[in-house]
């Protein structure tokens, strides 16, 4: 990974051909919504890998998650949520 640019607002990286922009903030505050997500080919395998690494999957009342914590959206996507060490909500989604 190499940096492309630095501004007062962000540092931009070339992450193996993918542009990654990281905002610069004065204080880290956990957001109450998903801040970053990954598309995965197999949500079951991704959820198992997270659980085996000691990462707890988030559960929400009323959305019908399965035993592992994976939610099946009406459109067919399957999503698992988890938090980073700062408490930000992240997701893995199989479309």
12 and 51 both lie in a single domain: no
90 and 45 both lie in a single domain: yes
Region 23-36 average pLDDT: 87
Hey, which residues does 19 pair with through a beta bridge?
14
- What pLDDT, on the 0 to 100 scale, is given for residue 18? 85
| Overall number of domains in the chain | 2
Q: Which domain holds residue 12?
A: 1-26
21 and 58 both lie in a single domain: no
CATH of the domain at 66: 3.10.180.10
Residue range 30-64, pLDDT digits in tens? 888 999 999 999 999 999 999 999 999 999 999 99
pTM recorded for the entire structure: 0.77
76 and 61 both lie in a single domain: yes
Region 6-26 average pLDDT: 88
- What pLDDT, on the 0 to 100 scale, is given for residue 30? 81
């Amino acid at each position: 990974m190499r940096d492309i640019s630095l501004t007062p607002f962000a540092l931009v990286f070339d992450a193996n051909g993918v542009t990654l922009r990281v905002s610069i903030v004065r204080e880290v505050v956990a957001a109450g919504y998903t801040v970053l997500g990954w598309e995965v080919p197999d949500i079951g395998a991704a959820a198992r890998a997270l659980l085996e690494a000691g990462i707890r999957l988030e559960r929400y009342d009323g959305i019908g998650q399965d035993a592992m914590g994976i939610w099946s959206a009406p459109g067919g996507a399957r999503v698992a949520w988890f938090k980073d060490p700062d408490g930000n909500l992240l997701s893995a989604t199989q479309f």
